[in-house]
Every structure is written in C-alpha cells, then in structure tokens.
Amino acid sequence: MQFFGGSDVSPSPPATTAAGHNANMMYMFNRNGVCLFYREWNRPLHTLNPQQDHKLMFGLLFSLKSLTAKMDPTSGDKGNLGMPQLPGQGCSFHCFRTNTYKLSFMESPSGIKIILVTHPKTGDLREATKYIYNLYVEYVVKNPMYAPGTPIRCDLFTTNLDQYVRSIS
Amino acid sequence: MATTTTGTAAAAIYSLYIINKSGGLIYYKEYGGVGGTGRMRMDTNDSLRVASLWHSMHAISQQLSPTPSCSGIDLLLADSFDLHCFQSLTGTKFFVVCEPGTPNMESLLKVIYELYTDYVLKNPFYEMEMPIRCELFDINLSVAVQKDRVALLGR
C-alpha cells in the first residue's frame, strides 16, 4: 500500500504534453456516498441533473464492486451478492472501458473513492489516481480549514489537479 | 505445429455468460476457477443475479457517458479477473470472465457470436430469448474455448 508512504507530491509531476485534453471529468466520494468533489473538463453530454448524476455514479460503482466481489474466481466463500464489504475487502476493480470513455477507480483504506473519466485510449491510470489521492492528502486533508465529509473547496487542490490532469495521456 | 505457448497465450477462461436483451441469463458455462480448481462454483440463482446485475450496470454506464452514442462497458478490469463483453445489434450480450491480461478475447467473443447465430438461431426448435439447450452449440463452443485455439485467434 503506497497511500501513506509518500507525501512527496511536489518532486516530479510528469511532464505536460501537448495533447492535454484526455480527461473528461472526476468524482470524489467519501465512504457514505457523499460527493466531496466533482470537476469536469470536457463533457458535452449531460443526461441528468448533477445530484442524480452523482448518485448514479456512486450506485454504479457500489454495484460493480459487489459484482466483482461475487465473481472473484480466486476465493471460494464469497457470501451473498451485495454483501456489505469494507474498503479493501473482497475483489474490487480498477477500471472499465466503453467505446466513448474509460473510467478509472481507486478506493483508499478510509473509503475515499476517486473516479477519473478519460478518453478510452488512455493507458493504465492507477498511478494517476494515486497521485490525485496524494494531492488530496496534501492540499485538502492538511488544510486546517477543511472539515472532513464536506464538499472540497480548496483552490490549491483544484489548480494542482487541473495542472496534473493536463498531463494525463 | 510448433505453437509458442507463452504464459499469457495459455491463460485461462473462467466462465461465459450469454444474456438476452431483457437481462435474463440464457446460457452459462463454467470452465473452473484459478488453476483448474472448482473454486468458481456459482449456484444457479447467483449466476442469474450476476447476469441481470451486469445488464443494469451496462445500461447505467451508457447514461454516465461524457460524450454521446455510448454503447456500454466492453471491458472491466478487476483485481483478479478481466471481463470482456460483446453486445450484438439485437441486444444479446456475451461476456467472458478470464485471467487478467488474456489476449484475443474480442475475437473469441466474435467466434462465440458466430456459433450462436449458426447453431442456436438457425435451430428451428430454439425459441428466441429462451435458455439455450443445443448440443451442437455446446460441442462447438467447447472446441472454440480450448486454450490453444484461443491463442491461434491472434494470428
């Protein structure tokens, strides 16, 4: 687990490339399903209002997690489908892909979920979501004015995130 | 013939599901869990639930797309398996659960789809949207899913 290891956010954010419009949007949920943070960079299509969109996204992840936990071919006793599971327990997933987007998912041990939606051709973004988690630790958790469980309104976090996301390829 | 069976080419397929356009499971086959152990074993009720859950997840993923004309999840990468899904034009979904990193799954799904059209849809005794019980389909499917055959799909 690298989550707590490096708060070394500053050293080397990957070099920004010219093709910098791969990210569509990002969601962040806490373990209760509250949307802490939502940001979109490129989203031409809105099918629902924001609240419903966040709920649907959380519901999708929740159900996909119970699906993967149930389908896990490496363990025998998995309980019933939809059995409540702690973060890190059971088989989870790290990404799925459709013809129009790719969704990368990371869950921290404390149940913070980071969801990054990008262009379907982007590579493995597990490191990217971890980096974003580290940004969250640096600029949000360490911010004395931030009350846990409330929507994130930290300028430093947003600017650093915007800058980093441009480098995702 | 000297087939180069590298580690990835010989990777295993764990199971295959076919669901009809309303989310009902019409075909399910297990090929054993990790290392050929019978760990996977899912009972009938669970396989039905998993299939219809996948159907809904597939539909929800289309709603959440940032750009228009999304056709749903076609690849899910979990910690211990990959799930590849293929949806036909009529809404029948085929999905295989396999070892992480198994190549040629898209071509395998196409082959399975062809077998379905040949041996199921052209069977005069088959009723649409009902569970598949066709011996010829079973036989040809087990041939197609054999590891070395799947490896050949890449060429």
ipTM of the complex: 0.84
Please give the CATH number for the structural domain made up of A23-71+83-165: 3.30.450.70
Model confidence at B4: pLDDT above 70 = no
pLDDT at B42: 82
pLDDT digits (tens, 9 = 90+) for A105-158: 999 999 999 999 999 999 999 999 999 999 999 999 999 999 999 999 999 999
Task: Mutation target for B interface from A22, A98, A102, A105: give the one with most B CBs within 10 A.
Answer: A98
Fold of B13-152: Beta-Lactamase (3.30.450)
Q: Sheet holding B93-98: strands in order across?
A: A35-40, A23-29, A113-118, A102-107, A93-98, B73-78, B82-87, B93-98, B13-19, B25-30
- A54-82, pLDDT tens digit by residue? 999 999 999 999 999 998 888 777 778 88
Count, in order, helices (H) and strands (E) of chain A: 3, 5
Question: Chain B residue closest to A50 (CA)?
Answer: B64
Q: Is the pLDDT of residue A98 over 80?
A: yes
Mean pLDDT of A6-29: 62
Model confidence at B36, pLDDT cuts 50, 70, 90, reads low
The per-residue pLDDT of chain A, averaged, comes to 86
In chain A, where the domains are located: 23-71+83-165
Task: Kindly list the residues from chain B whose CB atom is less than 8 angstroms away from the CB atom of residue A95.
Answer: 76-77
